[in-house]
Amino acid sequence: MTATLDQLPGALPEAVAAQKPSSLWRDTLRNILRQRSAIVGLAFLAFLVLVALFAPVIATHDPNLPMIGIEEGAKPRSAPCIHLLGCPETQPEHFMGLDGNARDVFSRVVYGARVSLWIGFVTVGFSIAIGVVIGAIAGFFGRTDNVLMRLMDVVLAFPSLLLAIAIVTVLGQSLVNAQLAIGIVAIPIYARVTRASVLSVREQEFVAASLALGESRFGILRRRIMPNALTPIIVQGTLGIAGAIIEVAALSFLGMGAQPPLAEWGSMIGIERNAVFAAPHLILFPGAAIVITCLAFNLLGDGARDALDPRLNR
């Protein structure tokens, strides 16, 4: 015991030197990868990204091209036909059938991955960018806190989809406006998370130290507080992507988001919703695509939360 203590002062620098410098990002990533659900989510996500990147290679047809007059016997809303599974060779092969305009559903679902991933990242990115600024100002500069957070309460007082529908009606029906609307209604969530996070980091000693060193208040917020307050925002953002994809899809389903002929999963379902009893595959396949995408982000977000919040470790 004494020997160990004697050796310690000499041994310490070596041990420290042998350690790689720890970085917030690397630690975070390592912790996340320890979570089973995060790995499953990441695998799903990787698959989706590959599908989106190689959509032109994977898709069997042009997603916007009606098959009528191009393939013999192509009928709108015809059921899936896979030759390997016993579909007669005389019929043209369509893995997920044809939609109401006789377009290949499989190719549309594949191209839809591009649209939905874009929707998820851009929409949440927008909410985070604005929400973080509002939350940081509210949390760090006390005077504005009450006003800003009450304003956020007002936005949160509306059922999000209703407010989004109203905003789209004001802005006009398009995919970008739908994203903007869903982005706006999600701002309070990120503002609240950021504010809470900034409030707790603000009280730490290194902030007082920077203040004593004469660093500007804005500089402290940007360089000292924000990097340490980002973790909960990233977790919330990952979980928020799934929500954003579902909500933009819901607007498209109602005809207020993506406009035809864009291959967007929500609008594919919306256009064919009255055909559900005759051609359920037109709902099932794009629906399954939405579920898989949201599942990927939810699993990843859960894993990230479990990894980054020691209180939730179990």
Under the rule (CB under 8 A), what is the footprint of another protein? 37, 150-151, 153-162, 165-167, 169-170, 172, 242, 246, 249-250, 253-254, 266, 269-270, 273, 276-277, 280, 283-284, 287, 290-292, 294-295, 298-299, 302, 312, 314
Structure tokens given for 98? 């044809």
Q: Are 127 and 191 in contact (CB under 8 A)?
A: no
Task: Rank residues 136 and 269 by Cβ distance to another protein and give the closer one.
Answer: 269
Task: Rank residues 88 and 172 by Cβ distance to another protein and give the closer one.
Answer: 172
Structure tokens given for 265? 């999963």
* Dihedral sign from CA coordinates of 182, 188, 191, 193: negative
CA 15 to chain centre: 41
Q: Is 90 helix (H, G, I), strand (E, B) or coil?
A: coil
Minimum CB–partner distance for residue 118 and another protein (Å): 18
Q: How many CA atoms lie within 13 A of 260 on its CB side?
A: 13
Q: How many CA atoms lie within 13 A of 198 on its CB side?
A: 25
Minimum CB–partner distance for residue 2 and another protein (Å): 38
Task: Rank residues 51 and 269 by Cβ distance to another protein and give the closer one.
Answer: 269
3-class SS shares of the chain: helix, strand, coil, % to 5: 75, 0, 25
Minimum CB–partner distance for residue 225 and another protein (Å): 24
Task: Rank residues 158 and 206 by Cβ distance to another protein and give the closer one.
Answer: 158
Task: Rank residues 37 and 194 by Cβ distance to another protein and give the closer one.
Answer: 37
Task: Rank residues 133 and 283 by Cβ distance to another protein and give the closer one.
Answer: 283
Minimum CB–partner distance for residue 276 and another protein (Å): 5
Residues 201 and 226: their CA atoms lie apart, in Å, by 9
Residues 108 and 64: their CA atoms lie apart, in Å, by 8
Minimum CB–partner distance for residue 240 and another protein (Å): 12
Minimum CB–partner distance for residue 273 and another protein (Å): 6
CA 131 to chain centre: 16
Tell me which DSSP letter residue 80 carries.
P
